[in-house]
Structure 1
Amino acid sequence: MNKWLLSALCVALLAGCKTSPTGRNQIALFSSNQMAEMGQASFQEMKASMPIEHEPYVNRYVNCVTNNIIKQLPANFANQAWEVVIFKDESANAFALPGGKIGVHTGLLTVAKDQSQLAAVLGHEVAHVIAEHANERMSQNALLQTGMQVGGAALQMGNVQYRGEIMQALGLGAQFGVILPFSRSHESEADLVGLEYMAKAGFDPKGAIALWQNMQAQSGERQPEFMSTHPAPENRIAKLTAYLPKVTPSFEAAKQQGKAPQCK
């Protein structure tokens, strides 16, 4: 049994190797169609279960920022149909799903105080889709489950003492050593890729710094970063600040090209 699982694991790793927009190696085992179907199904469930904001001026504003960001995406994403829905929810949140779906919570509009700050969030969320982070997380979990099965089978065959304790330790090791760091790397990658998109669209990339300063001011006590799926706000601010010189030329070029969004 363990030989079959090891063989399957090797084949999956070889077949799913890809490179993210920042050049990071990643595993993505699911097809684009599979991911799109799951994203669209999830979005339909959300629309059926959550109240939707229909106020025209709010929708115009959010769609204005979103459309300017979408124009900067790779052609296959820029040319697809995107659906943007604003949900009545007080949490400062937004998300993008495979299949061209974007959700924005009304609570975000009180934290993202201007178009550039909102563009930082939407650029970040769309970057998750472009970089196939959902695919990578699902693939990672599938491979980890297979690896745990292999480890369990090996321990059972070897009649190892304290098998239960060892398997629990392996589970915690996977959680803090792989799953959470991967999630933080996804967030950091989406921050930087999203910063590129917003700068190319003509939104001031400094808005991303202001956004996370706002987020930091609203956040209460947080658990240690090594136990969190997201980087601490101060670390995000530091990385974004360090990355600003790399995207400033894109922002200046956008202005010279007449890209000056007026989303209000």
Structure 2
Amino acid sequence: MNKIIKASLLFTSLGLAACSSSPTGRNQLILFSDQDMSSLGAKSFEQMKTDTPISKDAKTNAYVQCVANTITAYVPKQPNFSQWEVVVFDSDQVNAFALPGGKIGVYTGLLKVAVNQDQLATVIGHEVAHVLADHSNERLSQSQLANAGLQITDIALGASEYSQYRGLTMAALGVGVQYGVLLPYGRTQESEADVVGLELMSKAGFDPKQSIDLWKNMAKASGGSSPPELLSTHPSHSTRIQELANKIQTLPASSAKRPNCQI
């Protein structure tokens, strides 16, 4: 097949794939199916559970599970999985993530900065929002265009190249810092996850005003030699806090019962 025909087919397929919108109405480039992304997320999560120690502290696990379960109870039913899996990783990293396929990871180091259930709900809501907004798919799709030679399509479809390009794949899913590869979400995606995540945690009955305190805590934690991993690609503290404060003013009152997740 000559180059002109190949290019024509490529741009035709991209035009069809790009007809997608985020939860805030933003146009997105989406090249991969929900099934492909769920499979990739599950595979990556299993690898992380092998590579990173898992917390055995019953109270910590129950606490994180309580917050995550309360958040995900307000998430619309997803097409390719029926249950969210939550794992607490025993690590000093101030970080958390959520992967396609309903996989949520929280590092114990985050609990030193997100000091109550509402602040933890801010982070988990934000990470779940990345999944709901197909941000990993969007980022992996952008990587496919920029790195066509890496055959990322084959990785998403579960081909043998997965292990060879695991670092890039993990980065595209939002957990690349641990693997020495960083493919960051854009500012637009981060702001979108803030908005959707705040709506989600507020709907679940958590106090959205605590999101501001959470990011103030993050700002203090970043005063050392290196910032928390969670902040490595995010907007500035002052920008994020101001945007959250503006959004809080527009949130409707929640009818949900106040959660009672305690550690």
TM-score (norm: length of structure 2): 0.79
Do the aligned residues in 1 keep the contact of 2:204 with 2:254 (CA within 8 Å)? no
The change in CA–CA distance for 1:78 and 1:64 in structure 2 (over 3 A counts) is farther
Aligned mates of 2:83, 2:249 — CA distance in 1:
32
Gaps of 5+ in 2: 150-181
SS in 1 for 2:78: helix
Alignment of 1:235-246 (within 5 A): 235-246=239-250
Do the aligned residues in 2 keep the contact of 1:96 with 1:129 (CA within 8 Å)? yes
The change in CA–CA distance for 1:104 and 1:121 in structure 2 (over 3 A counts) is same
- Number of paired residues? 223
- Tell me, yes or no, if structure 1 residue 212 matches structure 2 residue 220: no
SS in 1 for 2:186: helix
- Tell me, yes or no, if structure 1 residue 187 matches structure 2 residue 190: yes
The change in CA–CA distance for 1:182 and 1:119 in structure 2 (over 3 A counts) is closer
After superposition, the C-alpha distances for 1:86-128 in whole angstroms (9 at most, x for unaligned) are: 0011011000001111100000000001000000000000000
User: Post-superposition shift, 1:140?
Assistant: 1.1
- Tell me, yes or no, if structure 1 residue 88 matches structure 2 residue 90: yes
Which structure would you say has the larger Rg? Answer: 1
The change in CA–CA distance for 1:91 and 1:237 in structure 2 (over 3 A counts) is same
**What is the letter of the counterpart of residue 144 of structure 2?**
A
Aligned mates of 1:181, 1:92 — CA distance in 2:
17
Give the fraction of aligned pairs with identical amino acids, expressed as a percent: 50
User: Match of 2:26?
Assistant: 24
**What is the letter of the counterpart of residue 242 of structure 2?**
A
After superposition, the C-alpha distances for 1:143-201 in whole angstroms (9 at most, x for unaligned) are: 23459xxxxxxxxxxxxxxxxxxxxxxxxxxxxxxx98961111110011000000000
Do the aligned residues in 1 keep the contact of 2:38 with 2:80 (CA within 8 Å)? no
Aligned mates of 1:180, 1:44 — CA distance in 2:
21
Do the aligned residues in 1 keep the contact of 2:71 with 2:200 (CA within 8 Å)? yes
Aligned mates of 2:208, 2:79 — CA distance in 1:
22
Gaps of 5+ in 1: 148-178
User: Post-superposition shift, 1:3?
Assistant: 2.3
Alignment of 1:155-174 (within 5 A): none
User: Match of 1:15?
Assistant: 16
User: Post-superposition shift, 1:82?
Assistant: 1.1
User: Post-superposition shift, 1:213?
Assistant: 0.5
User: Post-superposition shift, 1:5?
Assistant: 4.7
User: Post-superposition shift, 1:10?
Assistant: 1.6
**What is the letter of the counterpart of residue 43 of structure 1?**
F
SS in 2 for 1:89: coil
